[in-house]
Every structure is written in structure tokens, then in C-alpha cells.
Structure 1
């Protein structure tokens, strides 16, 4: 699945800084544009934020315009095809021949650049929730969500979840009903939750972890939180700041320990302290970060 291209136009011209020409942060794409003494233009892209939203690739082009002679005429002197498959990736263009001479005259000759990058989303395997919740001789009760009947096994759900253990208890009125309505949850979200621990489970990915954690907390499913934590520990590419917030918010102690351990310098620890997520953390976790800062001082 593709989305409309993300387009950025730099402001230029650039004469103040001899190396860094432009720094931008546009719709989830961070880009630093620079030039070196050998007339090489470099674009360093960081699109980790888009990756967290399910983007697996960016394709498009980079175009550079330059001023020729003493006139105000501008023409496009360079176009580079871009294919970004790593969340932090650098594209470099080294000038040769006449182009190199022009570049070496100075950055004042370079007017601006633009990029047009199209996000491509990773396809997700679609689970048939209707098949997952179909009637069978293994099921003995019916849940109703958004008007749809979901056939489940009481003992299995009770073993997984204290929420359902209580719901199916004889001490609760609902426990004696043939059909039990579950409110304030969507059929799709409940299907995603159950597909993570039902037979033939679907493993979490960076696109589904936050929804799974929210649902697991609501329905008291520690096994789902553990599955998500394993993914975040070993397979995730979610950014460090968001990772530590998730670990703190959902009580994933192993993940939190790893995040704190990876603050292996004063610079990193201070960066985390200054991040937008820091004030959202619990007092305990903030104390751990501050303690890490003190350790390096």
C-alpha cells in the first residue's frame, strides 16, 4: 500500500554555514543536507517515526537547483533517484568534471533542493476474525461485540484472563447468561487481541503493539503483554524514547531495564531527560534516568 508523496522544498540559498546546508523535519522525515570540501552533497534521512506507523520503504527523488553565472536564472542541475529501505540512511552525490568545478565555487551557487518521497506500507496478514470466532464443539458461550456473535470457550479465556474468569463466575449475573455483551470495544480490536494467543497465534509487530498493550491491560491478559515485551526486546525498531514510555506505562520490567542499560553515556541519558516523553514517565522511572545521569557525572 502506498500513500501520497511527502514533499519538502528547502529555503536556500545557503551561504552562512560551510558544511550543513539545511536541516528539516517534515511529516515524519528528518533530513540533514550537507556538502564537504570534495564537493560531495550528502542527505542523511531518518524516518524512524514513519516506520513506527507501518512504512517499510520510501521511494522518489531528490532534486538540486543551482544559480549559474551572475544572472538570476536557475536551472535544475541534479536529480537523484532515492530508495530508502533503512530507517537511517545516507545518500551521497559526488560531483565530477564541470559539475565538480561548479560545486567547488561555493555553496552560494547552490540555490535549493527538494525531495519527493512516497511511503510504502508493509502488507499485514489479514486474519479472518469471523473464522476465528466461528461456532464449534469446543466453544460453550457467546460474546456479543458490536452486534456480532463471538463463540468462545469459557475455561480457555478464564485461564488466560482474570477479567473473563470473573465475568464467567457464577457470582456475576453475566456468568449465567447464554450471550454476554462486551461494550466499549470494537470487533476488530477484540479480534486482534484474541488472535495473539488463540491457537495458531499471530505475532505482534510495531504497528500493533500499542493496541495490543491497551487491550491486554483492559482485559487483564499478562500473557499478551509478555508476548509484546518479547517483540519489543528482540525485534522492534520503535524509537528509544517511545520504547521507554511503553515499558513504563505497561509495566514491562525487562524492557525498561534494557532501555536504562542502553543509556551508556551522559549525552544519551541527558537526551532522554530532555525528550518529550520524559515528563510522561512515572516518578520511579524518571528517578532511574536521573540516577543514570548522576552515574556518568
Structure 2
């Protein structure tokens, strides 16, 4: 979903071969640092815009598109339009604008029109409907006093935890467990169906995990990935970790430091490699070192980060 265009008109500033930063402004959640310098050797003005839109990212904006138009009030160059597509924070746009070498300075300004793109709000899953009785389900998991009707084979295929759980329970079944552990199927069919308690987990968290890989899956979001990783690790559902790794690689706006920790903690090698490669400036290295996530990294991940920085600098 697209929001309304955010418009901004800068002041007019004199630029020459000694200028740098021209203006910093904030407009509706977008901060922009603008700089410009005349390069007489190339007969051009070098312009730079650096955008900080972390405030909008926290409001589910995943992309900003639009354009910048920079203008010479002295008409030393034609108004120049730069297309903009922001997909990460602190993204930088540069533009070299040719001018006649005879000019020692110019007076310039710019205007931008930028449109925020909001991630769609996912519908809240209907867990009661998702885990209701059906012909395809052959057991009941009881979590937090609520029942989830599931299929043993499907869960066993995805999880070593459930393979062991159902195997153990089936062996107990051969020994004729107490009747109170079995309930009648809630329809007209003959037979019995087991109820297996899952302890020390909330219904909401457990249903969230199952819904991520159950038929008609609910895809992870930045708000759910950390809990999902915790649950997927505990219940040994590697397919969910793979799904989350894809989300973090391609769609996430989580900070680099936290993403590196999650990649290390939950065994996501592709994400770990991307995060290590992303350590390409001293500023990023310092930010990682000062983050709470750095202290939680394994010795192996710290060594990889250090090796990357040694080769870089």
C-alpha cells in the first residue's frame, strides 16, 4: 500500500570548491543530509543526499520511491531529476552535474517528492478453524488447555521432535494406556483419538509455530521471527528456520546486529554470510561492537567478523 507523497523544498545555498554539508532537514519521518562541492577538474558539481528513514521503517514502511530535482538559481545547469528508490536506511544518492568551468560558485536548491510503501497488515490467523477436527487429523495436541487437531504423519515429516513424541506415545498405546487419555472423535465415526499434552508453552506461541508450515501457511514477519526461531529450535522444525532465513535475507528491516545474532544462534548460514559481508565500514564495525547482540555471539561468529574487518582495513 502506498502512502501520500512527502514533499520537501530546500533553501538556496551557495556551493563552491570548498563547501561540503549544505543542509540537514527532517520531513514526515524522513531525515536528509545534503552536501555539494564544485569539482573544477571535472567541471561539475558533486551532490550527495543521505536518507535516514528509520522512523518510517518502524511504521511498517519497507520502501520509498520518488525523485529529487536539483536546480541552479543562476541557470548554470539545467534542472536535473534523480530517480530515487530507498530500500534500506542511511542510503546515499549521488549525482554529478556538469557546469561551465568559468563559474567559481553557484546557488542551488533541490526539491524531492517521495512516496512511502507500507507492508500489508496480515490478517490474524484463525487458529480455531485452522486446527479444527477433520477427516485428515488423527490426534489432538492439548496446549494451554486448548486443543489442536493435527495429523501425525504431517508433523512427523517436518519435525524430529514430533516423530519421537508420536513414536513414544504409540508404544504406550500398545500397553493400553488409561481410558482417560483417549476421547471419542467429535463426529459420527467409530473409534478413538488420542489427546497428547504439550507442556511449558503457550497456545498462542505453539499455534504460531504450527501455522507457519501447516497447509495454507502464515508467513513470518519481523514481529514474529524471534519467537518463531525460539519455537522452531525447541520443537526441531528446520523447515520453519529455512522459511525465516528467506524472510530475513529478502524482506526484513531488522537491524544488522540483531540479524547477525539470530543467524549465529539458530544456524542460518546464508544469512550469517550476508551479515558478515555487510561489515564493510568502520562505522558498522563500531556499531556491532557496542550492540548488546555482540556479547551473545559465538566465538566462531566473532572470529568471522574479525577476519572480515582485518581483510577490509
Q: Same fold (TM over 0.5)?
A: yes
Matched, 1:216 2:242: no
| Partner in structure 2 of residue 32 of structure 1 | 33
Contact 1:133–1:152 (CA under 8 A) maintained in structure 2:
yes
**CA gap 1:45/1:221 in 2 versus in 1, 3 angstroms:** same
**CA gap 1:44/1:291 in 2 versus in 1, 3 angstroms:** closer
Match of 2:275 among 248, 259, 265: 259
Equivalent position SS for 1:137:
coil
**Any unmatched runs of 5+ in structure 1?**
4-16, 60-82, 93-103, 107-116
Q: Please give the alpha-carbon distance, in whole angstroms, between the structure 2 residues aligned to 1:195 and 1:26.
A: 40
Q: Please give the alpha-carbon distance, in whole angstroms, between the structure 2 residues aligned to 1:193 and 1:241.
A: 24
Q: CA deviation at 1:224?
A: 0.8
Contact 1:272–1:278 (CA under 8 A) maintained in structure 2:
no
Deviates more, 1:120-129 or 1:214-223: 120-129
Q: Please give the alpha-carbon distance, in whole angstroms, between the structure 2 residues aligned to 1:256 and 1:250.
A: 10
Query: TM-score, normalization: structure 2?
Result: 0.58
Q: Any residues of structure 2 matched to 1:44-55 within 5 Å, and which?
A: 44-47=50-53, 50-51=56-57, 54-55=60-61
Deviation readout 1:175-215 (Å, 9 max, x if unpaired): x555325443242x333322221123333344433232122
Match of 1:124 among 118, 121, 124: 121
Matched, 1:184 2:201: yes
Contact 2:279–2:285 (CA under 8 A) maintained in structure 1:
no
Q: Please give the alpha-carbon distance, in whole angstroms, between the structure 1 residues aligned to 2:214 and 2:45.
A: 58
Matched, 1:135 2:118: no
Q: Please give the alpha-carbon distance, in whole angstroms, between the structure 2 residues aligned to 1:165 and 1:212.
A: 20
Q: Report the count of equivalent residues.
A: 270
**Any unmatched runs of 5+ in structure 2?**
4-17, 39-43, 66-83, 96-104, 108-113, 184-194
**CA gap 1:211/1:51 in 2 versus in 1, 3 angstroms:** farther
Contact 1:55–1:120 (CA under 8 A) maintained in structure 2:
yes
- Report the RMSD for the aligned CA atoms in angstroms: 5.3
Match of 1:163 among 156, 161, 164: 161
Contact 1:269–1:292 (CA under 8 A) maintained in structure 2:
no
Deviation readout 1:135-179 (Å, 9 max, x if unpaired): 101112222344432111223223322333344323699xx5553
Q: Please give the alpha-carbon distance, in whole angstroms, between the structure 1 residues aligned to 2:240 and 2:144.
A: 23
Q: Please give the alpha-carbon distance, in whole angstroms, between the structure 1 residues aligned to 2:20 and 2:151.
A: 65
Q: Please give the alpha-carbon distance, in whole angstroms, between the structure 1 residues aligned to 2:297 and 2:27.
A: 27
**CA gap 1:21/1:256 in 2 versus in 1, 3 angstroms:** same
| Partner in structure 2 of residue 153 of structure 1 | 151
Query: TM-score, normalization: structure 1?
Result: 0.61
Contact 1:263–1:292 (CA under 8 A) maintained in structure 2:
no
Contact 1:54–1:207 (CA under 8 A) maintained in structure 2:
no
Q: Please give the alpha-carbon distance, in whole angstroms, between the structure 1 residues aligned to 2:86 and 2:280.
A: 29
| Partner in structure 2 of residue 274 of structure 1 | 289
Q: Please give the alpha-carbon distance, in whole angstroms, between the structure 2 residues aligned to 1:26 and 1:245.
A: 33
Matched, 1:56 2:62: yes
Contact 2:64–2:86 (CA under 8 A) maintained in structure 1:
yes
Contact 2:279–2:305 (CA under 8 A) maintained in structure 1:
no
Contact 2:48–2:92 (CA under 8 A) maintained in structure 1:
no
Q: CA deviation at 1:267?
A: 4.1
